[in-house]
């Protein structure tokens, strides 16, 4: 997989991970904020009317709600569609107001037995002298109990409100949708910017460096890559240094090979001058059947390699047979008659022992007596 594709995949995975974690965080934060807002609105609604209600409760602690109190309760139910149920209690737990008049004056326990409370929020509010809220019905509603406190911080009564969370859930959903859209746009903008940066400053320079390296050969060790001041430029500089070392070593190896060939030719010149009879032609052949040295002049350029078959007719089966037998049986001398340019020769061939990877064959051609 390409570097840009790997980076893109990694960015997507990291972004999705961050978006999911952030989504969970924001979901709980939105839920807390909007639920708290809903609860505070209910508490403030009761507290705004609390002085009137506490006064009425002080004047008549037990019994049914007065006309004014009843109007307040009805007004809350009419003007706020989030309120699904409302019960007004006296300090002793008896019902002071209910939209169903048959429950008026009923005790807390009797109402709980007949109808049932959605939670124990009322009992907690009386005990703690503070508003309490409990979620029920799979989070669709809050059962809220708001105590009405008289002098001495005593509970004069309790307002029990069943509030729908539909609006709060809608706010949370809308906020999460906006969060998702914002996160997606941020991912796109940041991802596009980073991708362009990676493409322009990393991927393309590396591709250009690769193309420059592909043009390097043994004949051309120059790295055609523009100078850069970043890490890729440092890498290119190191490659140029390596190519320089390789070029120097190749040049040294070529010079050593030339010197070695010249030295070997001098060595063969001395050996053949002593070992080969006068008038005989001697050829030293390498492992590729190229002529390495002769004791006679060849009609060929000095820097051009001459193959053995360039001198002898390719149809010289006798010569080929002698050379083949000599190659298969090193150090043994094989003889035979050959004709070249209408001249008959007695040929002797011997494959010399391998000397450090150098395979050499010595071929000596002696002209027969009747041709001299």
pLDDT tens column, 37-66: 999 999 999 999 999 999 999 999 888 999
Kindly give the pairing relationship between strand 132-136 and strand 155-164: unpaired
pLDDT tens column, 106-131: 999 999 999 999 999 999 999 999 99
pLDDT tens column, 173-219: 888 888 888 888 888 888 888 888 888 888 888 888 888 888 888 77
Per-residue tokens: 257 = 């090979």
Asked if the model's pLDDT at residue 1 lies above 60, the reply is no
Q: What's the pLDDT at 55?
A: 93
Q: What's the pLDDT at 352?
A: 84
Q: What's the pLDDT at 300?
A: 63
Asked if the model's pLDDT at residue 11 lies above 90, the reply is no
> What are the distances in angstroms from CA 366 to CA 91, 263, 277, 349?
141, 26, 8, 12
What band does 370 get if pLDDT is binned at 50, 70 and 90? low
Q: What's the pLDDT at 279?
A: 78
Per-residue tokens: 155 = 């509970």
Q: What's the pLDDT at 164?
A: 94
Q: What's the pLDDT at 104?
A: 93
| Angstrom distance (rounded) from CA 281 to CA 278 | 8
Q: What's the pLDDT at 163?
A: 94
| Angstrom distance (rounded) from CA 10 to CA 2 | 12
SS3 content of the chain, % helix, strand, coil (to 5): 55, 20, 25
What band does 136 get if pLDDT is binned at 50, 70 and 90? very high
| Angstrom distance (rounded) from CA 114 to CA 359 | 115
**Helix (H) or strand (E) run with residue 290 in it:** none
34 Cβ contact list (under 8 Å, min separation 6)? 168, 171, 172, 175
- Average pLDDT, rounded, for the chain: 85
Q: Which residue has the higher pLDDT, 293 or 1?
A: 293
- Report the length, in residues, of the chain: 372
Q: Which of 62-76, 248-262, 276-290, 340-354 has the lowest mean pLDDT?
A: 248-262
Asked if the model's pLDDT at residue 145 lies above 90, the reply is yes
Is the Cβ–Cβ distance between 106 and 121 less than 8 Å? no
Q: What's the pLDDT at 221?
A: 79
Is the Cβ–Cβ distance between 158 and 130 less than 8 Å? no
The torsion angles phi and psi of 281, rounded to 5 degrees, stand at -100, 130
| Angstrom distance (rounded) from CA 97 to CA 63 | 9
| Angstrom distance (rounded) from CA 355 to CA 369 | 36
Per-residue tokens: 309 = 């078959």
**Helix (H) or strand (E) run with residue 215 in it:** none
100 Cβ contact list (under 8 Å, min separation 6)? none
Helix/strand/coil for 198: helix
Q: Looking at residues 244-265, what average pLDDT do you find?
A: 77
Question: Half-sphere exposure of residue 61, counting CA atoms within 13 Å on the CB side?
Answer: 9
Q: Which residue has the higher pLDDT, 302 or 251?
A: 251
Helix/strand/coil for 207: helix
Q: What's the pLDDT at 89?
A: 94
Asked if the model's pLDDT at residue 150 lies above 70, the reply is yes
Is the Cβ–Cβ distance between 291 and 312 less than 8 Å? no
pLDDT tens column, 214-236: 888 877 778 888 888 888 888 88
pTM over 0.75: no
Helix spans in 215-356 (H): 231-275, 308-311, 317-328
| Angstrom distance (rounded) from CA 173 to CA 26 | 11
What band does 369 get if pLDDT is binned at 50, 70 and 90? low
| Angstrom distance (rounded) from CA 280 to CA 274 | 12
| Angstrom distance (rounded) from CA 137 to CA 338 | 114
| Angstrom distance (rounded) from CA 309 to CA 241 | 44
- Domains of the chain (ranges; CATH) run 3-173 (3.30.450.20), 222-274 (no CATH), 276-371 (3.30.450.20)
């Amino acid at each position: 997989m390409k570097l840009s594709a790997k980076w893109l995949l990694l960015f997507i995975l990291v972004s999705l991970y961050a978006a999911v974690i952030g989504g969970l965080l924001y979901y709980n934060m939105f839920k807390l904020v909007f639920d708290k807002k809903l609860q505070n609105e209910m508490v403030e609604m009761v507290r705004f009317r609390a002085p009137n209600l506490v006064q009425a409760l002080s004047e008549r602690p037990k019994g049914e709600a007065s006309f004014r109190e009843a109007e307040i309760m009805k007004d809350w139910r009419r003007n706020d569609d989030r309120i699904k149920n409302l019960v007004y209690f006296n300090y002793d737990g008896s019902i002071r107001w209910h939209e169903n008049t048959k429950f008026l004056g009923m005790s807390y326990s009797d109402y709980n037995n007949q109808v049932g409370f959605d939670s124990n929020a009322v009992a907690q509010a009386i005990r703690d002298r503070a508003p309490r809220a409990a979620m029920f019905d799979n989070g669709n509603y809050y059962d809220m109990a708001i105590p009405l406190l008289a002098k001495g911080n005593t509970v004069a009564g309790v307002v029990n409100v069943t509030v729908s969370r539909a609006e709060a859930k809608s706010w949370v959903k809308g906020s999460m949708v906006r969060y998702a859209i914002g996160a997606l746009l941020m991912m796109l903008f940041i991802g596009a910017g980073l991708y362009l940066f990676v493409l322009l400053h990393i991927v393309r320079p590396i591709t250009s460096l690769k193309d420059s390296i592909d043009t390097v050969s043994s004949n051309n060790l120059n790295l055609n890559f523009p100078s850069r001041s970043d890490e890729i430029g440092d890498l290119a500089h190191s490659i140029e240094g390596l190519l320089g070392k390789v070029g120097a070593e190749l040049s040294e190896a070529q010079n050593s090979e030339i010197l070695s060939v010249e030295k070997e030719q001098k060595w063969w010149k001395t050996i053949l001058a002593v070992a080969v009879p006068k008038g005989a032609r001697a050829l030293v052949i390498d492992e590729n059947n190229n002529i390495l040295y002769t004791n006679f002049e060849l009609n060929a350029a000095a820097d051009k390699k001459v193959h053995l078959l360039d001198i002898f007719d390719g149809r010289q089966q006798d010569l080929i047979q002698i050379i083949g037998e000599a190659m298969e049986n090193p150090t043994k001398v094989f003889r035979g008659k050959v004709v070249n340019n209408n001249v008959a020769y007695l040929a002797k061939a011997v494959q010399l022992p391998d000397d450090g990877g150098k395979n050499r064959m010595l071929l000596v051609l002696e002209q027969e007596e009747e041709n001299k």
